[in-house]
C-alpha cells in the first residue's frame, strides 16, 4: 500500500490543490492508499501537532478494519489528544475569509522559499562553484539537501552554518543576504575539497 506524507501541502507550489495532485490522482483512479497529513508547517501550529491519518480504500469492510488498527495504535500513545490546534485548523479551513488569507500567506511563503533556492543556486553558479547545483531549485519544501559530503558539512558547521551532517539545511531560514553568504562558504569548502 502506498503512503503519502503530506507535511508541506501548500508550501511546495503555493497551491493546496496542486500539492495534493498525487493523492487525488490515486483516489480518482481507485488506487488505495494511506495519507499522513500535517498542518504543523502550513498553519504554523508546530506545538499543537495537528494532522490526520487517512486510509483511502474501495472496500467499506477494509475501511472499518483500518479504523480499528489506527485506534489501536493511537490509544496507548495519547488516548485523547488536545483539541486546540484541530479547532484552529478547522476554523481556518471552514471560514472563507480565513481560508483565503491562509492560502494567500502560504503562496507568499512558498514564493519566498523558492526565491531563496534560486538566490543560493544562482550565486553558486555565478561563483563558478565546481559541480551542478540545479538540485537546489528542483527540490521543494522548506528544506534542501545540498549534496555535500559529511566532511564538507562538518566544516560548514564549524563556520556556524546551521545544517545537518547529511547536508540538509533550512531554506526557509535563509534571507537573500544569508543565501549569498552561504554560497560563498560552500564555494570555498568545495574548492578546498577539490584541491586535496
> What whole-number distance in Å separates Cα of residue 34 and Cα of residue 36?
7
User: What pLDDT was estimated at residue 11?
Assistant: 84
With 0-12 / 13-18 / 19 or more C-beta atoms within 10 angstroms meaning exposed / middle / buried, residue 119 is buried
Q: What is the mean pLDDT of each run of 10 residues along the chain (196 residues)?
A: 91 91 96 94 87 94 95 84 90 97 95 97 98 96 94 96 96 97 98 89
Q: 148's torsion region: left (phi>0), alpha (psi -120 to 50) or beta? A: beta
User: What pLDDT was estimated at residue 79?
Assistant: 73
User: What pLDDT was estimated at residue 196?
Assistant: 78
> What whole-number distance in Å separates Cα of residue 73 and Cα of residue 154?
38
User: What pLDDT was estimated at residue 121?
Assistant: 98
pTM over 0.75: yes
Amino acid at each position: 500500500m502506498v503512503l503519502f506524507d503530506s507535511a508541506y501541502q501548500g508550501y511546495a507550489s503555493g497551491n493546496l490543490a496542486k500539492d495534493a495532485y498525487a493523492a487525488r490522482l490515486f483516489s480518482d483512479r481507485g488506487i488505495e492508499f494511506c495519507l499522513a497529513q500535517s498542518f504543523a508547517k502550513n498553519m504554523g501550529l508546530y506545538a499543537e501537532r495537528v494532522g490526520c491519518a487517512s486510509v483511502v480504500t474501495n472496500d467499506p469492510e477494509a475501511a472499518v478494519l483500518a479504523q480499528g488498527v489506527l485506534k489501536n495504535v493511537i490509544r496507548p500513545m495519547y488516548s485523547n489528544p488536545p483539541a486546540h490546534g484541530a479547532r484552529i485548523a478547522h476554523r481556518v479551513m471552514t471560514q472563507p475569509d480565513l481560508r483565503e488569507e491562509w492560502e494567500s500567506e502560504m503562496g507568499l511563503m512558498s514564493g519566498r522559499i523558492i526565491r531563496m533556492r534560486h538566490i543560493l543556486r544562482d550565486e553558486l553558479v555565478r561563483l563558478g562553484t565546481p559541480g551542478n547545483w540545479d538540485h537546489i531549485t528542483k527540490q521543494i519544501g522548506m528544506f534542501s539537501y545540498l549534496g555535500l559530503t559529511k566532511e564538507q558539512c562538518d566544516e560548514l558547521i564549524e563556520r556556524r552554518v546551521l545544517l545537518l551532517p547529511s547536508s540538509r539545511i533550512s531554506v526557509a531560514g535563509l534571507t537573500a543576504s544569508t543565501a549569498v553568504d552561504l554560497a560563498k562558504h560552500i564555494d570555498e569548502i568545495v574548492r578546498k575539497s577539490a584541491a586535496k
